[in-house]
Copies of this chain bind each other. A is one copy, B any other.
Amino acid sequence: MAVTLGLDFGTNSVRALIVRCVDGRELGTCVVDYPSGHQGVLLDERDHNLARQHPGDYLVCMEQAVRGALAQALQNDSGFRPDQIVGIGVDSTGSSPLPVDKTNTPLALDPRFKDNLAAQCWLWKDHTGHAEAAKITAKARELRPQYVAKCGNTYSSEWWWSKIWHCLNTAPEVFDAAYSWVELADWIPAVLAGVRDPKTVMRGVCAAGHKAMYAEDWGGLPDKEFLGTLDPKLAELRDRLYNKAHDASTPAGKLCGDWAKRLGLKEGIAIAIGEFDVHYGAIGCAVEEGVLVKVIGTSTCDCAVVSAQKSIADIPGICGIVKGAILPGYYGIEAGQSAVGDIFKWWVEVVCQGDAAMHEHLTAEAARLRPGESGLLALDWNNGNRTILVDQRLTGLVLGQTLHTTRAEIYRALIEATAFGARAILERIEEYGVPVKTVVCAGGIAEKNPLLMQIYADVTGREMRVARSAQACALGSAVAAAVVAGVHADFATAQKAMTGWKDVVYKPRRAEKSAYNKLYKLYMKLYDNLGGVRNVNLGKVMKDLLEIKESTSR
C-alpha cells in the first residue's frame, strides 16, 4: 500500500497531504500558518509593492505540517504506517527567489541580515522590481527577442531576474553577500535532500522556464553578454547558478537522514523535482489536452498542456509556454490574473469592513441580480494585469455608479470583471491553437461560491467543473512523488488513479451568456484603452450600460 506526501508552500501557510497512490484517497492533511509578518508576508508600509517571506518559516512550519498530517492519517486509517510513504513532492509559490550562501543557507538566517528585507525570500507578488522588469523587457526586445517571445513579449516584475536585479540595485550588500539564488520550489527539495551546495541543487524547468528566461534552445539561462548589458554583476552571477533545469520525470534527490528524523519519515525516499503550486495543481486537477485548469485563490493561475509532439506558436501576452513546465512531454501553457479572491476580499474586508458573514450576505444579494442589471462595469486590475497585458502598473476601475449603486452590485461587478479577464485569456490561447473544451477550477472559491462558478460559465460560454480534491496543488505534488517513486509508470496513469473532478457541472445559460457577450465587448473597450492596447472611443460606454440596465428591467 504505497502512500506519498505532497507539500504545498502557499502565500500564507504550508500544507502537508498524505495520499494513497492506488486511488488518491487523502489520509491526512495539516496546514500551518507562517508566523512572520502579516499572515506570513513581510510588508513595508511605505511601499505597497514589497512582499517578502522569512525562509525560517518554511522549515519550522513544514515540520509541524508533516507531523500533523501523519498524526491525522494515523488516526483516520488504522492500516496506515509512516513507512508506507515512498516519496515526497513539493510545490511552492513562484517566482520566489531567495539569496543563499555557499552552503545553500538563506542569507536571512545569517544574523547580519536577519532584519534585512532584501535577504528574505522575494515572494511571487513582490513588485518592487517593476523598473528593472521594464528595462529587461526593453533590452530583450532589442537584443534577444526570443527571450521574451515565449512570455508575451513582456518580462514581469514578479520574476527571477527583475527581483535579483532590484536587489542588486537597492541592497547591494545583500546581492554581494549572496553566493547564489534559488527558487523556493527548488530550495525545499534540496533542503530535504541535504544538498549543501547551490550549484548541485536540482532546478525545475517549471520555475526556470520563462521566469528565469531559461530554454534549451538558447543554451539554458540568458547568455552572459546579455546579462552584462543589464549589469556586469548579473553576468558574474550566472556562473554561480545552473546550466540545466529538469522536468518532473527527474527526481530532485532522496530524503536525507536529518530531515527523515525531523519529519518522522524513512530516510532515502524519493523527492520529486519542485514545481510551482499551480503547475502541480493542474496535475492534481487531472489536466490533459483540452482542459484548462484554473486555480482560483487570492489570484488565479491558468494552466493548459499541449503535446510536445506538436509545434506551438508563441502567444502574444501569454506569459509562459515552457516544455515540461507542467507534465513531462507536454508544453505547459501558463497564464493568470494578478488578483481574484484578493479583489473580493478587498471589497468586503477593506472597503465594506465586513467579515465572512458579509461575504455570504453580499453573495446572496448579488446572486439575485441579472447580468447588466446594476449598470456597472469593472476592471480586475487592482493588482495589475498578469495576462494578457503583462503589466503590473495597472490599477482597478469601477464605472457606472449612480446614487443608488449598492455594495452588493459592486461586489458582483468585481466578480464579473474577473470572469471577463478569464475570458480574455481563454480566447487568446484558443486563438493560438490551445484547445479548451472544459474548464476545471480548484481552490476554495471554486468549491464554495456557486455564484462565481455560474457567472464564469455564463461569461466564458464553457462548462465549468470543480476539482475533486480541495488540495489540488498538494495532491499534484503527491502524484509527482508517486511517479518518481515508481508507484505509477507515468503521469497519465498516476493522474487517472489519483485525481478527478466533482460531479457538479456549471453550464452556460443562453440568456445570461448573451447579456454577458454585450458587457464583455464594453469590458474589452475599457481594457484596450486603459491598458494601452489601442485608443478606443469610450464616449458611448456609460450610455450602453444604461441601456443594458434598462433592458433588464423591461
How far, in Å, is A282 (CB) from chain B's closest CB? 25
Does the CB pair A542–B399 fall under 8 Å? no
Does the CB pair B535–A541 fall under 8 Å? no
Known: A352-B352, A530-B542, A540-B532. Is A396-B401 also a contact (CB below 8 A)? yes
Does the CB pair B535–A535 fall under 8 Å? yes
Does the CB pair A403–B382 fall under 8 Å? yes
Does the CB pair B539–A533 fall under 8 Å? yes
Does the CB pair A403–B339 fall under 8 Å? yes
Does the CB pair B530–A541 fall under 8 Å? yes
Instruction: Please report the C-alpha to C-alpha distance between residue A47 and residue B375 in the assembled complex, in whole angstroms.
Output: 13
Does the CB pair A46–B395 fall under 8 Å? no
A504 within 8 A of B: no
Does the CB pair B342–A403 fall under 8 Å? yes
A177 within 8 A of B: no
Instruction: Please report the C-alpha to C-alpha distance between residue A405 and residue B378 in the assembled complex, in whole angstroms.
Output: 15
How far, in Å, is A357 (CB) from chain B's closest CB? 14
How many copies altogether?
2
List residues of A (408-434) whose CB comes within 8 Å of B's CBs: 410
How far, in Å, is A29 (CB) from chain B's closest CB? 28
Q: A382-B401, A399-B530 are in contact. List 9 more A-B contacts (CB 8 A).
A: A47-B553, A343-B403, A345-B403, A351-B351, A352-B352, A383-B402, A395-B399, A396-B399, A532-B537
**Residues of B contacting A395 with CB < 8 Å?**
375, 399-402, 542, 545-546
5 closest residue pairs by CB, A with B: A532-B539, A396-B401, A535-B537, A397-B399, A395-B400
Instruction: Please report the C-alpha to C-alpha distance between residue A526 and residue B42 in the assembled complex, in whole angstroms.
Output: 36
Does the CB pair B398–A401 fall under 8 Å? yes
A313 within 8 A of B: no
Does the CB pair B400–A398 fall under 8 Å? no
How far, in Å, is A260 (CB) from chain B's closest CB? 40
Instruction: Please report the C-alpha to C-alpha distance between residue A553 and residue B545 in the assembled complex, in whole angstroms.
Output: 37
List residues of A (517-554) whose CB comes within 8 Å of B's CBs: 529-533, 535-543, 545-546, 553
Choice from B339, B346, B398 contacting A398 with Cβ under 8 Å: B398
Closest-by-CB residue of B relative to A48 is B404
**Contact indicator per residue, chain A 345-356, by CB within 8 Å of chain B (1) or not (0):** 110001111000
Does the CB pair B535–A531 fall under 8 Å? no
**Residues of B contacting A396 with CB < 8 Å?**
399-402, 405
List residues of A (225-251) whose CB comes within 8 Å of B's CBs: none
Instruction: Please report the C-alpha to C-alpha distance between residue A300 and residue B395 in the assembled complex, in whole angstroms.
Output: 30
Instruction: Please report the C-alpha to C-alpha distance between residue A343 and residue B350 in the assembled complex, in whole angstroms.
Output: 20
How far, in Å, is A399 (CB) from chain B's closest CB? 5
How far, in Å, is A328 (CB) from chain B's closest CB? 36
**Residues of B contacting A381 with CB < 8 Å?**
542
How far, in Å, is A462 (CB) from chain B's closest CB? 28
Known: A402-B48, A531-B539, A535-B535. Is A353-B407 also a contact (CB below 8 A)? yes
How far, in Å, is A386 (CB) from chain B's closest CB? 14
